Structure 1
Amino acid sequence: MTEPRGSSSVSGAPSEGEADWGPLSALPGNPLMWVLILSEMLVFAAAFGLFAWMRADQRELFDASQQLLDPVIGGLNTMVLLTSGLFAALATNAVARHQVRRSRQWLLLTMALGLVFGAIKIAEYASKFGAGLTPETNTFFAFYYLLTGFHFAHVLFGLVLLALVAWRTTLANVETATAFWHMVDLIWILLYPLIYLLR
């Protein structure tokens, strides 16, 4: 993780000895994390586009398969992640005010909700597999498992990052980890209606 930034880094200009990342240098946290975030969002955007293209080609199959999902469970997970995003923002605000202990508390709450999200998702997967709905069932469920599984992998990675910054709690570290967590939130906000709601 990164060390606390100097006052020049906070203002957006790299301090002596730091690499100039252009516009990324003005963003909170480590610029390398923003490179990762942008690249991951491009991957998800491509996957969403492919999903939409396949849906247009197999609309009846996608609509029928989508009705086998429970939008309430997806909505519950949406609320869980959005709340965790709020807690992540509060963690950043606390450490910026030099309230390290409070920041760690918010980080732990963020992680707890991330674990709740994971538990709900695993239960949903178990239910679908129990009903015989696997990635090989049809094109829709192949995309369902691919997209939600890829997102779930990002949730797990985000939990690892949050655990690390709860241990090494500095402003730069918390900003770096929570930036990734907010990306996880954003992707799910786009993924939830695409998979569960749109007809």
Structure 2
Amino acid sequence: MERTTANPSPGGLDDLPGDLMMWVLIISELLVFGAGLAAFLGVRISDPAGFAEARTYLHPTLASINTVVLITSGFLAARAVDLRQQDRRKTARIALTGAMTLGVVFLVIKAIEYADTAAQGISTETHPFFTFYYLLTGFHAMHVIAGIVILALVAWKDTPRNMEVGTAFWHMVDLVWVLLFPVIYLLA
């Protein structure tokens, strides 16, 4: 059957926004984070009271603010793609700059939280909860840094395809945080 514009059929991988290799990377990263969360939940089963107590040393308010910050940055990144497709390059770059700036804000807030837990003498050795906390949120923070670099490169070489590829990675970073946040900060 021939594909027509009147009755389009799904095109499979060709219809993915961005680049296939970026999607391979995104899926592999989601699997790594998923395995980390599964391990966290598996170990939590052996000591639910200890995990619940350890969680009280965290800052759910700061983490909530960070959630809003990353979701807003994701909106700005998506807006940049739309603007670039409309050939509004300058405005698209402004939106990307906003997304990157919010990424930096996220990292500053996360650093404040890390500094506070360290000042309380909390490390990866304190309790298994904190081992997972530092590993998962630290690995995520590295992805935020990588995402900021990718968005900066996209702002520099701002083709519509580059915008799609870069923002797809940024949305993965957002999604991972949306999954980490409730499991680490809210799960009783």
- d(CA) in 2 for partners of 1:116, 1:70: 16
Structure 1: where are the runs of 5+ without partners? 1-10, 14-22
Match of 1:180 in 2: 169
Residue aligned with 1:189, SS? helix
Identity of aligned residues (%): 48
- d(CA) in 1 for partners of 2:157, 2:85: 14
Deviations 1:83-141 (A, max 9, x none): 00000010000001111111101000000000000000011111110110111111000
Q: Give the TM-score normalised by structure 1.
A: 0.88
Matched residue count: 180
Asked whether the 8 Å contact 1:135–1:142 carries over to 2, the reply is yes
- d(CA) in 1 for partners of 2:159, 2:36: 35
The within-5 A match list for 1:37-186 is: 37-186=26-175
Structure 2: where are the runs of 5+ without partners? 1-8
Asked whether the 8 Å contact 1:24–1:34 carries over to 2, the reply is no
Deviation at 1:25, TM superposition (A): 2.5
State the 4+ residue runs in structure 1 displaced beyond 4 angstroms: none
Asked whether the 8 Å contact 1:29–1:179 carries over to 2, the reply is yes
Match of 2:6 in 1: none
Q: Does 1:32 align with 2:21?
A: yes
- d(CA) in 2 for partners of 1:125, 1:133: 9
